[in-house]
């Protein structure tokens, strides 16, 4: 198609400039699934943590670990649960696995095969991990 008049040439140049700008803006708005996971976990922590989950559990934070594609959740046991001897690790692991399987908000990350880790620390001794469970995709799919 020949552009015969200066007006036609200006319109064509404007069209291509707008198309190029649109393509640039669209590309910059795209984020990888890893970036989305990191942003989602960071924003959730900033807006909701610490969050009381019941009388004896507080969710302290969550983060995405890029190197291992792990969604990592950090909790704190308080009161009666702040004790190694009261924990039934097998029962807790099964509860977490069932909850993960039924959770719909993480579906995209589960479909991508991400790993999920849950760490529960002592409120009275914060450096002490009372329970930890990791679920690779083979365990929750």
Q: 73-131: per-residue pLDDT in tens?
A: 999 999 999 988 888 999 999 999 999 999 999 999 999 999 999 999 999 999 999 99
CB of 123 closer than 8 Å to CB of 81:
no
Q: What is the topology classification, in CATH, of domain 33-140?
A: GMP Synthetase; Chain A, domain 3 (3.30.300)
pLDDT given at position 5: 57
CB of 119 closer than 8 Å to CB of 135:
no
pLDDT given at position 132: 97
- Each residue's pLDDT tens digit, 71-87: 999 999 999 999 888 88
Buried b (16+ CB within 10 A) or exposed e, 118-129: bbbbbbeeeeee
CB of 87 closer than 8 Å to CB of 130:
yes
Element (H or E) spanning 19, and its range? Answer: helix 6-29
pTM of the model: 0.78
pLDDT given at position 25: 39
pLDDT given at position 85: 82
Over 60: is that where the pLDDT of 136 sits?
Answer: yes
Euclidean distance between CA atoms 10 and 36, whole angstroms: 40
CB of 114 closer than 8 Å to CB of 70:
yes
pLDDT given at position 4: 54
pLDDT given at position 28: 46
- Each residue's pLDDT tens digit, 2-26: 555 554 445 444 444 444 444 433 4
């Amino acid at each position: 198609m020949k552009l015969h008049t200066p007006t036609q040439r200006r319109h064509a140049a404007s069209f291509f400039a707008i198309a190029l700008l649109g393509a640039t803006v669209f590309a910059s708005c795209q984020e990888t699934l890893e970036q989305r996971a990191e942003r989602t976990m960071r924003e959730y922590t900033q807006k909701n943590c610490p969050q009381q989950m019941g009388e004896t559990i507080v969710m302290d934070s969550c983060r995405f670990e890029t190197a291992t594609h792990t969604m990592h959740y950090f909790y704190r046991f308080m009161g009666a649960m702040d004790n190694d001897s009261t924990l039934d690790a097998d029962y807790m692991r099964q509860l977490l696995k069932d909850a993960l399987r039924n959770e719909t908000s993480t579906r995209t990350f589960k479909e991508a095969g991400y790993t999920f880790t849950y760490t529960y620390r002592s409120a009275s001794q914060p450096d002490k991990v009372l329970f930890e469970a990791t679920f690779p995709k083979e365990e929750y799919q």
